[in-house]
Structure 1
Amino acid sequence: MTLPQHPGPDRPDDGSAPRGRLNPLTGLVLAGAAVVVCLAWASWSVWLAVLAAALVAASRARVLSRVAAAGSVVVVPFALWALAIHGLFFPEGRTVLAEVGPARVTAEGLDYAALFVLRTATLVVVMLAFSLWVDVATLRVALVRRGVPAQLGFVLASALGLAAAVSGRLAGIRAAQEARGLVVRRGIAGRVVAARLQVVPLVLQLVDEAGERATALEARGSSLRGRRTFYVEEPDSRLQRWVRWSLAVASLAVVASVVVPAVVGTFGSAG
Structure 2
Amino acid sequence: MNPLTWIVAASSSWIVVLGFNELALSASVAVIAQLIALVRLRNFSVLATTVALSIPVSLSMVIIHIPFGRNDWSTALDLSVRFIALMSAFLTAASAITITDLVKSLSHMPRVAYIVGSAVQLLPQGRDTLGSVRYANHLRAHSPRQHSTRGLSKTIKFVVLPLITRLLSQGASRAIPLEVSGLERTGQRTVLNPVADTTLQKVLRWLMPIAALAVVVWL
Q: CA deviation at 1:161?
A: 5.7
Is the CA contact (8 Å cut-off) linking 1:40 and 1:255 kept in structure 2? yes
For 1:24 and 1:141, locate their aligned partners in 2 and report how far apart those are by CA, in whole Å: 10
Q: CA deviation at 1:218?
A: 4.8
For 2:30 and 2:98, locate their aligned partners in 1 and report how far apart those are by CA, in whole Å: 22
Structure 2 residue identity aligned to 1:40: G
Deviations 1:81-115, CA, capped at 9 Å, x for gaps: 1111112221xx2xxxxxxxxxxxxxx12210111
Structure 1 residue identity aligned to 2:14: V
Deviations 1:92-150, CA, capped at 9 Å, x for gaps: x2xxxxxxxxxxxxxx12210111111111111211111121122222222233xxx32
Q: CA deviation at 1:248?
A: 3.1
Q: Which residue of 2 aligns with 1:152?
A: 112
Q: Which residue of 2 aligns with 1:120?
A: 83
Cα distance change, pair 239–228 in 1 and its aligned pair in 2 (3 A): closer
Counterpart mapping for 1:103-114 below 5 A: 108-114=71-77
For 1:160 and 1:64, locate their aligned partners in 2 and report how far apart those are by CA, in whole Å: 24
2:211 is the alignment partner of 1:250: yes
Aligned residues: 189
Residue among 162, 172, 186 paired with 1:225: 186
Is the CA contact (8 Å cut-off) linking 2:16 and 2:213 kept in structure 1? no
Percent identity between the two aligned chains:
25
Q: Which one has more relative contact order, counting CA pairs under 8 Å at least 6 apart?
A: 2
Tell me the secondary structure at the aligned position of residue 144 of structure 1: coil
Coordinate RMSD, CA, aligned: 3.5
Q: Which residue of 2 aligns with 1:66?
A: 45
Deviations 1:143-189, CA, capped at 9 Å, x for gaps: 233xxx322233334545668x69xx69x97xx99xx99xxxxxxxx
- Segment drifting more, 51-60 vs 247-256: 247-256
Is the CA contact (8 Å cut-off) linking 1:82 and 1:117 kept in structure 2? yes
Cα distance change, pair 70–159 in 1 and its aligned pair in 2 (3 A): farther
2:12 is the alignment partner of 1:30: no
Deviations 1:35-64, CA, capped at 9 Å, x for gaps: 111111111111111111110111122175
- Segment drifting more, 31-40 vs 60-69: 60-69
Q: Which residue of 1 aligns with 2:105?
A: 142
Is the CA contact (8 Å cut-off) linking 2:33 and 2:88 kept in structure 1? yes
Is the CA contact (8 Å cut-off) linking 1:136 and 1:157 kept in structure 2? yes
For 1:24 and 1:139, locate their aligned partners in 2 and report how far apart those are by CA, in whole Å: 6
- Segment drifting more, 211-220 vs 246-255: 211-220
For 1:73 and 1:219, locate their aligned partners in 2 and report how far apart those are by CA, in whole Å: 44
For 1:159 and 1:127, locate their aligned partners in 2 and report how far apart those are by CA, in whole Å: 17
- Segment drifting more, 210-219 vs 235-244: 210-219
Deviations 1:174-229, CA, capped at 9 Å, x for gaps: xx99xx99xxxxxxxxxxxxxxxxxx98xx69x92883685454553323322222
Q: Normalising to structure 2: TM-score of the pair?
A: 0.70
Is the CA contact (8 Å cut-off) linking 2:99 and 2:120 kept in structure 1? yes
Q: Normalising to structure 1: TM-score of the pair?
A: 0.58
Whichever structure has more helix as a proportion of its residues is: 2
Q: Which segments of 5 or more consecutive residues in structure 2 lack a partner in the other structure?
A: 144-158
Structure 1 residue identity aligned to 2:74: D
For 1:69 and 1:37, locate their aligned partners in 2 and report how far apart those are by CA, in whole Å: 24
Cα distance change, pair 238–46 in 1 and its aligned pair in 2 (3 A): same
For 1:240 and 1:25, locate their aligned partners in 2 and report how far apart those are by CA, in whole Å: 9
Q: Which segments of 5 or more consecutive residues in structure 1 lack a partner in the other structure?
A: 1-21, 94-107, 182-199, 259-271
